[in-house]
């Protein structure tokens, strides 16, 4: 497709379960970002990939959160032992990164995670 | 962490009026961007202004940047009901490559 695709669009799980959220970026975009957005708040940075490597994972809240991008395209955000506080919309974005300046981000529609 | 802080948090105007939203940030930047988000949707990029630019226009949008005050403003002229959305500013942090968003301004344009 032409845009950033995120699946699932909605995920309801029980506390303690494991969750995977998938992001398929725009073809050719080397940079990929994960954000988390709670109701009424701005997107909170989680992790940023440049190619296959995590260039900055300082936003991951704790070691229950992990993200991979093994072939430099699709990325998966993994959340272990989910807690009710993990409930949020998880946004993925991609961009053509510029060496000196962060370029425009293209966002997906998000994955809404609800932990019961 | 959130770098930008938008002001006001919420703004309600009549169609045809102008809407001004402000953003303040804390550290030095290479550029500042504004995004729009319709309820329940992803964010859409509106405009990017570089640190060496003071003003930029795109259609009904006008963005200013004052690096000495670490602030930016977004002006939407002749607003329409379809402009109803949340607006976020976002700044890079030096050469890290990531973007940090503010909490946003929720704009409501009444027909």
Bridge partners of A101, per DSSP, are none
Arithmetic mean of pLDDT over chain A: 92
| Residue B106: closest C-alpha in chain A | A40
Kindly state whether B103 is in contact with chain A, defined as any CB-CB distance less than 8 angstroms.
yes
**Which of A48, A93, A109 comes nearest B97 by C-beta?**
A48
- pLDDT for res A98: 59
Kindly state whether B88 is in contact with chain A, defined as any CB-CB distance less than 8 angstroms.
yes
CB B81 within 8 A of CB B110: yes
Band of the pLDDT at A101, cuts 50, 70, 90? low
- pLDDT for res B86: 96
**Which of B1, B41, B48 comes nearest A109 by C-beta?**
B41
Band of the pLDDT at B6, cuts 50, 70, 90? confident
| Residue B51: closest C-alpha in chain A | A101
- pLDDT for res A96: 84
For residue B23, give how far its alpha carbon lies from the nearest alpha carbon of chain A (Å): 13
| Share of residues in chain A with pLDDT > 90 (%) | 77
Return the residue in A29, A42, A60, A103 with the most chain B beta carbons within 10 A, the one to mutate for interface testing.
Answer: A42
Kindly state whether B39 is in contact with chain A, defined as any CB-CB distance less than 8 angstroms.
no
Range with lowest mean pLDDT among A1-10, A77-86, B53-62, B66-75: A1-10
- pLDDT for res A37: 96
- Please report the DSSP string for A24-77 in residue order: E--TT--EEEEEEE-TTS--EEEEEEETTEEEE-TT--STTEEEE-TTSS-EEE
Segment holding B90, helix H or strand E: strand B85-92
Kindly state whether B92 is in contact with chain A, defined as any CB-CB distance less than 8 angstroms.
yes
| Residue B2: closest C-alpha in chain A | A44
pLDDT at B41 over 60: yes
Band of the pLDDT at B2, cuts 50, 70, 90? low
Instruction: Specify the higher pLDDT residue, B21 or A54.
Output: B21
CB B70 within 8 A of CB B25: yes
- pLDDT for res B98: 78
Compute the distance between CA of residue A21 and CA of residue A115 in angstroms, rounded to an integer. Answer: 14
Q: What is the pLDDT of residues B72-106, one digit of tens each?
A: 999 999 999 999 999 999 998 655 667 889 999 99
Q: What is the pLDDT of residues A32-82, one digit of tens each?
A: 999 999 998 999 999 999 888 888 898 999 999 999 999 999 999 999 999
Is A108 in Cβ contact with B92 (below 8 Å)?
A: no
- pLDDT for res B97: 66
- CA A41 to each of CA A50, A89, B71, B87, B91: distance values in angstroms, whole numbers, following the listed order: 26, 11, 20, 11, 16
For residue A96, give how far its alpha carbon lies from the nearest alpha carbon of chain B (Å): 11
pLDDT at B40 over 90: no
- Per the listing, tokens 């290479």 go with B30
**Which of B45, B50, B101 comes nearest A42 by C-beta?**
B101
Give me the phi and psi of A60, to 5 degrees please. -65, 125
Task: Using an 8 Å CB-CB cutoff, list chain A residues near B38.
Answer: none
Instruction: Specify the higher pLDDT residue, A60 or B5.
Output: A60
Instruction: Specify the higher pLDDT residue, A70 or B27.
Output: A70
């Amino acid at each position: 497709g032409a845009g950033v695709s995120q699946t699932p669009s909605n995920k309801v799980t029980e506390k303690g379960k494991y969750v995977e959220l998938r992001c398929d970026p725009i073809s050719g975009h080397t940079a990929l970002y994960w954000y988390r957005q709670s109701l009424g708040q701005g997107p909170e940075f989680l992790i940023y990939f440049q190619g296959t490597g995590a260039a900055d994972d300082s936003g991951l809240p704790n070691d229950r959160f992990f993200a991979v991008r093994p072939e430099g395209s699709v990325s998966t955000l993994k959340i272990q032992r989910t807690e009710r506080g993990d409930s949020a919309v998880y946004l993925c974005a991609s961009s053509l990164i510029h060496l000196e300046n962060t370029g425009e981000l293209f966002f997906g529609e998000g994955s809404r995670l609800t932990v019961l | 962490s959130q770098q930008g802080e938008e002001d006001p948090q919420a703004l309600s105007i009549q169609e045809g009026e102008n809407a001004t939203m402000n953003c303040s940030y804390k550290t030095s930047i290479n550029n500042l961007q504004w995004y729009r988000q319709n309820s329940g949707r992803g964010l859409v990029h509106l405009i990017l202004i570089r640190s060496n630019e003071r003003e930029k226009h795109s259609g009904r949008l006008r963005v200013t940047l004052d690096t000495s005050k670490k602030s930016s403003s977004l002006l939407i002229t002749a607003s329409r009901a379809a402009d109803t959305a949340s607006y976020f500013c976002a700044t890079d942090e030096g050469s890290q490559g990531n973007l940090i968003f503010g909490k946003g301004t929720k704009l409501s344009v009444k027909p």
